[in-house]
Structure 1
Amino acid sequence: MKAPQLFGTNGIRGVPNQDLTLELATGIGRAAGTFFKAQKIAMARDTRISGDMFLFAVASGAMSTGTDIVYIGELPTPGLQYYCKENHIPGIMITASHNPPQYNGIKAIDSDGTEIDEEKEVKIEEIYESRNYRMAEWQNIGNYSYDSTGIDLYINSIIESVHSKVIAESNLRVAIDTGNGASYYTSPEILTKLNCHPVSLNANPDGKFSSRNSEPKPENLSDLISIMKTGKFSIGIAHDGDADRCVFIDEKGNFVDGDRSLALIAKHTIKRGDTVVTPVSSSDALSEICSEKGAKLILTRVGAPIVARAMIDNRATMGGEENGGIIYGKHQYCRDGAMTMALMLDLLAREKKPLSELLKDIPEYYMIKTSVPRNREWNEIKELITKKFTGKMFDFTDGIKIYDADGWTLVRPSGTEKIIRVFSESKVQERAKEYNEEYVTFLKNL
């Protein structure tokens, strides 16, 4: 199958008026309206400055095909996905997720709430490239409306998916950093309704992400970490720009890697006979947890839509990625930061132990994550790696996963940026560093 050229791992992304133009946005709107053949498409946006510009451009394109647009507001991507699932209509999200504020993007959502698969992305691109749009007569052009119920629909669905009464009675105190992004209202409101006494940081919409970088990495969460070190809070929580991801800070102020939070939530959520799906980039800690619980683990290519589709095909209970993106099948088949937050609060309330204590039961692995600029075609890089490291075991599920004596390294091109990502893992921290440095040095020397 032909690979999509415009849609990356999580939609189309670029810098406004440079590689992401209004002409492109309008054309994609027309192509989506033509492809979906739906009477109505739902739309939402995150807080980026260019959000309205692209919202109206895409909406105008779709309305020109005779499709009605219902805008449901500034809210997390999974909030729009839940609205699409409940109303059985496709959607388009204007977001660049964790990318810097100068970026924006277009993400297409199917009527079941999942991100559209690559085959559908290719068909939308083909319509766009051929300009073979379904253009409506003047009297049949689509209408634009606003539905304010989408936000509460999403918030209530999260609360109803966990033991909300148990959480409410646990007297948890939560510090949350929404990073000026799309969860500025939804996540603090969920915490308030769960009686978690939230203290919010950066809970105002700011398309420049003035307070911190949108990606919830340790170096971007210094304020939240400082607050957690006061010892006054049960847990710290942070989202990315569109809140499809969630990371945690324990009660002592320690950042919890996404791999460990995924393994911990899985340990306290899945049962014997369940299926869990995760990409090849995830830690082996999850594999150990699945073995311990008697659950089946399926490894896929990197990308939330790919994990979600595999979950649907295998009726999986849980899936997720190492970046804090967890998919809870009993709620919806998409990465959801607020659902991840609620699941963590649920297990803290039920187990009645601090997060640092619960993490002691998770197998200890060390993962080093770096990246280098991609200055050659990926196929050429892949060939050079296999020639250089002949004799090692390779896995080509996504990029190249190279197995060494006591660890592995995944080398793969990013689907959203012109970089090569290099993840190395071992049970020995120094060994993980050595492996990562070895492959990064090789790539830089190319």
Structure 2
Amino acid sequence: MRLFGTNGIRGRVGEDFTPEFLTKIGLAIGSYLPRSANVILGTDTRISGDMVKFAVISGLLASGVNVVDIEIAPTPAIQLYTREHGDFGIAITASHNPPEFNGVKCIAGDGTELPREEEERIEKIFFSEKFRIVNWEDVGDYTKGGNAREEYIRSILQRIDVESIKNKNFKVVLDCANGASCFTSPYLLETLGCKVITLNCQPDGRFPGHESEPKPENLRNLVSMVKATGADLGIAHDGDADRAIFVDDRGRYLYGDKTLTLVAEYVVRNKSGIVVTPVSSSLSLEEVVKKHGSRVLYTKVGAPIVARKMIEVKAIFGGEENGGLIFPEHLVARDGAMALAKVLEILAKSGKKLSQLIDSLPQYYQKKISVRCANEKKERALDILKEKLKGERINTIDGVKIMGESWWVLIRPSGTEPIYRIYAEAKSEEELNTIVERYKKILEDAVREA
């Protein structure tokens, strides 16, 4: 049985997340840690945050570990504070999920997301209920932390060209989705000399402005405001602010692969090395990285996997196509505020508008569809699919990725639904539609035969 999903433990409050369940989570994590370990703990703005937090804390203290509560903070701020001041960290967040959800995300002592093998150790304790419950005089200490948010902003400012940005007096529209970045990103932008127009920048765990996932349909007001005010750009965070999505000066919503490619080109132009990204990322990234004499290393889909690989190969940059960028000189984890600061630096140094920079990147068309497949058939269908694709240029890091000269198709089973996902990219829409239909039919045949 699994307790952790792809990004922590998540569930509906009052259904999956009950006080008893959450206290057991705290006991399992505490029993996994050495006695007297210092656990840094923070939350996003969800209204269930205190209930979830204190239930988990109860279990942690009962197992003899100490808790430093830094209260509401972006997940990357919790990760940074953990690296600097703790032995372990916990973010109480469900990131972009609807407000009735919450989550428990574990952070290793180096500030990275906990690797899967360590999650399995916690799961083993949880399901066996072999908890370490200490006597009254050994119960852990609970204290409130002081300046995690300020320390986080300071770390970002130390790693960008502040003066270049200040000299430009950028006009920025910022949408915090009523989430944890309400306490950090407006102040970061003001420190950078920006004129800031805010949307949904008051903390509210009901997410009244829009759902916390920064999808195009949720950011219509941001797009409208950028157009109406003549702003240089718009920026949106998800609920826990480990991602940033941008709107350019023409009011165009920019998918995360555009930002990933833009920042990667800036990084490799100044320093050669390895850029790490999942197999689902755009060919535009590889095109610009290779052009400047660096190389791309691909991983399975998932931010923790990307981060671990970055540490292993000493990568200079990494990230995903969903707006989650990783700057290892600051933190080996996705960071929305660091991403917004770096994009402002790129604009300041180039002297160009964001729309001009985006239009100068290699252009590709993308499509994502799904094919139904019962969970019990997924493994067999994948084996059949691989057999059908023999002779083609394929990569099996995560599912099957078929590579052409100027296109690719990724077919991978969903970890949460009874479907296979098909991601595809090509230089023209006509070519894109042709290859999607071709491989969709091959996948459907494989599923039928499974």
Deviation by residue 1:303-325 (Cα, 9 ceiling, x = unmatched): 11111111111111110000000
Question: What is aligned with 1:9?
Answer: 6
Deviation by residue 1:36-78 (Cα, 9 ceiling, x = unmatched): 2152101111112222221111111111111111110111100
For residues 292-331 of structure 1, the aligned pairs below 5 Å read 292-331=291-330
- Conservation of the 8 A alpha-carbon contact between 1:13 and 1:416: no
User: 1:193 & 1:419 partners in 2: Cα distance?
Assistant: 46
Count, aligned residues: 443
- Conservation of the 8 A alpha-carbon contact between 1:73 and 1:148: no
Superposition deviation, residue 397 in structure 1: 0.6
User: 1:27 & 1:144 partners in 2: Cα distance?
Assistant: 18
Question: What is aligned with 1:367?
Answer: 366
User: 2:216 & 2:43 partners in 1: Cα distance?
Assistant: 26
2:69 equivalent among 51, 68, 71 = 71
Question: Counterpart amino acid of 1:32?
Answer: I
Superposition deviation, residue 269 in structure 1: 1.9
Question: Counterpart amino acid of 2:262?
Answer: L
Superposition deviation, residue 301 in structure 1: 0.9
Question: What is aligned with 1:164?
Answer: 162
Secondary structure of residue in 1 paired with 2:297: strand
Is 1:142 the equivalent of 2:140? yes
Question: What is aligned with 1:122?
Answer: 120
Question: More deviation in 89-98 or 17-26?
Answer: 17-26
User: 2:440 & 2:215 partners in 1: Cα distance?
Assistant: 20
User: 2:20 & 2:403 partners in 1: Cα distance?
Assistant: 45
Secondary structure of residue in 2 paired with 1:14: strand
- Conservation of the 8 A alpha-carbon contact between 2:63 and 2:139: yes
Question: Counterpart amino acid of 1:304?
Answer: A
Superposition deviation, residue 229 in structure 1: 1.8
User: 2:220 & 2:247 partners in 1: Cα distance?
Assistant: 11
- Conservation of the 8 A alpha-carbon contact between 1:231 and 1:251: no
Question: What is aligned with 2:243?
Answer: 245
Question: More deviation in 355-364 or 383-392?
Answer: 383-392
Question: Counterpart amino acid of 2:296?
Answer: L
Q: 1:43 and 1:436, CA in 2 relative to 1: closer, same or farther beyond 3 A? A: farther
- Conservation of the 8 A alpha-carbon contact between 1:272 and 1:294: no
Superposition deviation, residue 388 in structure 1: 5.5
For residues 164-183 of structure 1, the aligned pairs below 5 Å read 164-183=162-181
- Conservation of the 8 A alpha-carbon contact between 1:413 and 1:421: yes
User: 1:251 & 1:362 partners in 2: Cα distance?
Assistant: 16
Question: More deviation in 369-378 or 51-60?
Answer: 369-378
Question: What is aligned with 2:431?
Answer: 431
Is 1:24 the equivalent of 2:18? no
Q: 1:310 and 1:358, CA in 2 relative to 1: closer, same or farther beyond 3 A? A: same
Question: Counterpart amino acid of 2:323?
Answer: G
- Conservation of the 8 A alpha-carbon contact between 2:149 and 2:183: no
User: 1:380 & 1:438 partners in 2: Cα distance?
Assistant: 20
Question: What is aligned with 2:413?
Answer: 413
Superposition deviation, residue 85 in structure 1: 1.0
**TM-score (norm: length of structure 1):** 0.94
1:220 equivalent among 213, 218, 221 = 218
Deviation by residue 1:236-294 (Cα, 9 ceiling, x = unmatched): 10111111110100000011111111111111122343221111111111111111111
Q: 1:409 and 1:111, CA in 2 relative to 1: closer, same or farther beyond 3 A? A: same
Q: 1:261 and 1:104, CA in 2 relative to 1: closer, same or farther beyond 3 A? A: same
The alignment yields a C-alpha RMSD, in angstroms, of 2.1
Question: Counterpart amino acid of 2:235?
Answer: I
Secondary structure of residue in 2 paired with 1:48: coil
For residues 11-410 of structure 1, the aligned pairs below 5 Å read 11-37=8-34, 38-230=36-228, 232-270=230-268, 271-371=270-370, 375-377=374-376, 378-386=378-386, 391-403=391-403, 406-410=406-410
Deviation by residue 1:341-397 (Cα, 9 ceiling, x = unmatched): 010001111111100111132111122234566632331342353356555443221
User: 2:144 & 2:135 partners in 1: Cα distance?
Assistant: 24
Unaligned runs of 5+ in 2: none
User: 1:437 & 1:49 partners in 2: Cα distance?
Assistant: 44
Secondary structure of residue in 1 paired with 2:285: helix
Secondary structure of residue in 2 paired with 1:183: helix
User: 2:160 & 2:291 partners in 1: Cα distance?
Assistant: 24
- Conservation of the 8 A alpha-carbon contact between 2:33 and 2:65: no
Question: Counterpart amino acid of 2:45?
Answer: T
Unaligned runs of 5+ in 1: none
Question: More deviation in 173-182 or 364-373?
Answer: 364-373
**TM-score (norm: length of structure 2):** 0.93
Deviation by residue 1:160-191 (Cα, 9 ceiling, x = unmatched): 21111111111101001111111112111100
- Conservation of the 8 A alpha-carbon contact between 2:39 and 2:86: no
Question: More deviation in 414-423 or 68-77?
Answer: 414-423
User: 1:102 & 1:437 partners in 2: Cα distance?
Assistant: 38
Secondary structure of residue in 1 paired with 2:333: coil
Superposition deviation, residue 120 in structure 1: 0.5
